[in-house]
Amino acid sequence: MEDVEQHESVQIQDEHVPGFLIHYKKDHSQMPIFHRHLGYEIVWLKDGEALYVFEEKVYRLRKNTILLFKSSEFHRVSLKEDAAYERVVVMFTEDFLSFDHPVFTQFCDFLDQLPSPHYMLDLFVWHTEKLQVIIDNLLIENQNEDKWQHRVALELFLLELLLFICREIKDENKRGHHLTIEQQQASPVAVHDKIIKDINEVWNTDWRLDKMAEKLHISKYYLCHFFKKEFGVTIQEYILQRRLFEANKLLTDTGLPVHQIAEYIGFMSASSFIRRYKERTGITPNQYRKNNDNYRRIIK
Q: pLDDT > 70: what percent of the chain?
A: 84
pTM reported for the whole predicted model: 0.71
pLDDT single digits (tens) 45-60: 999 888 898 877 889 8
Whether 122 and 79 share a structural domain: yes
Last residue of a domain, one of 178, 193, 222: 178
Q: Residue 152: its pLDDT value, please?
A: 94
Task: Indicate if 263 and 131 belong to the same structural domain.
Answer: no
Query: Which of 134, 158, 178 represents a domain boundary (last residue)?
Result: 178
Residue 116 and residue 173 share a domain: yes
Residue 16: predicted pLDDT = 53
* 186 has a pLDDT exceeding 70: no
Residues forming beta bridges with residue 61, ordered by sequence position: 50
One-letter-per-residue 3-state SS of 56-124: CCEEEECCCEEEEEECCCCEEEECCCCCCEEEEEEEECHHHCCCCCHHHHHHHHHHHHCCCCEEEEECC
Same domain, 273 and 291: yes
| 106 within 8 A of 166, measured Cβ to Cβ | yes
**Claim to verify: residue 230 and residue 174 sit in the same structural domain:** no
Show the domain range for 249: 185-299
| HEC assignment per residue over 194-241 | HHHHHHCCCCCCCCCHHHHHHHHCCCHHHHHHHHHHHHCCCHHHHHHH
pLDDT higher than 70, residue 8: no
Please give the distance of CA 246 from its chain centroid, rounded to a whole number: 14
Q: 231 and 105, same structural domain?
A: no
What is the domain-level CATH number for residue 139? 2.60.120.280
CA distance 94 to 73: 15
Tell me what the mean pLDDT of segment 109-116 comes to.
Answer: 91
Based on the fold, state whether residues 52 and 161 are members of the same structural domain: yes
